[in-house]
Structure 1
């Protein structure tokens, strides 16, 4: 067995590991994106394509979570999951695109629907 490195074998090691293996790898890409995005035209076809791909990915994730949910979410009936999505979309459409209100509305409908159906 290899002896531990004294400097890394202390109470601060988990924080260093979090910084090295979680924060830095993602922060590098964010800072590079900021550097490269400075000269881009916001109305360029490239950014339109990026927005379309990001929207399609998000729509795919939401569809997967509704149709084939993982874990505990699978216990919620399909109708309740669809109702939660509908509530979120309605709040986004009516509430000047306030994301937090839409998320809270969807969660409230999901929790209330599971509670009412006794599926949880």
Structure 2
């Protein structure tokens, strides 16, 4: 990597940082006026949930890369383990994701894939 490339990379990282921080600061300022129980906030939560559900469905039913090596039954089973852990863990998203990941990795290792 030449010094010119390193300088360009550093400039890109700094520009990306400030572009992100502007929106974060604006979000903090504007969120003070939002009603968490209001219709707008409920709609945003529903859209976010639908996007995550769609992404998970695509990853499980139509994976790409190394994830496609796991059979469908294993992907569905690990998703089920994650949902069960999420439910039993008092709606802990981190617990659900970790349990599904562990189930998938252990299943792939057991299959020797």
TM-score (norm 2): 0.86
Among residues 38, 42, 45, which one is paired with 1:51 in the alignment? 45
Distance (Å, rounded) in 2 between the aligned partners of 1:77 and 1:47: 38
Q: How far did residue 37 of structure 1 move?
A: 1.2
| Aligned residue number for residue 37 of structure 1 | 31
| Aligned residue number for residue 3 of structure 1 | none
Among residues 97, 102, 110, which one is paired with 1:108 in the alignment? 102
SS in 1 for 2:37: coil
| Aligned residue number for residue 18 of structure 1 | 13
Is the deviation greater in 47-56 or in 28-37? 28-37
Aligned residues between the structures: 111
Per-residue CA distance 1:12-37 (angstroms, 9 max, x = gap): 553332121x3233332222222111
Gaps of 5+ in 2: none
Q: CA RMSD in A?
A: 1.8
Quickly say closer, same or farther: Cα 1:10–1:111, change in 2 above 3 A: closer
More helix by percentage: 2
Which has the larger Rg? 1
Moved over 4 A (4+): 10-13
Structure with bigger RCO (C-alpha 8 Å, 6+ apart): 1
Distance (Å, rounded) in 2 between the aligned partners of 1:11 and 1:68: 38
| Aligned residue number for residue 83 of structure 1 | 77
Gaps of 5+ in 1: 1-7
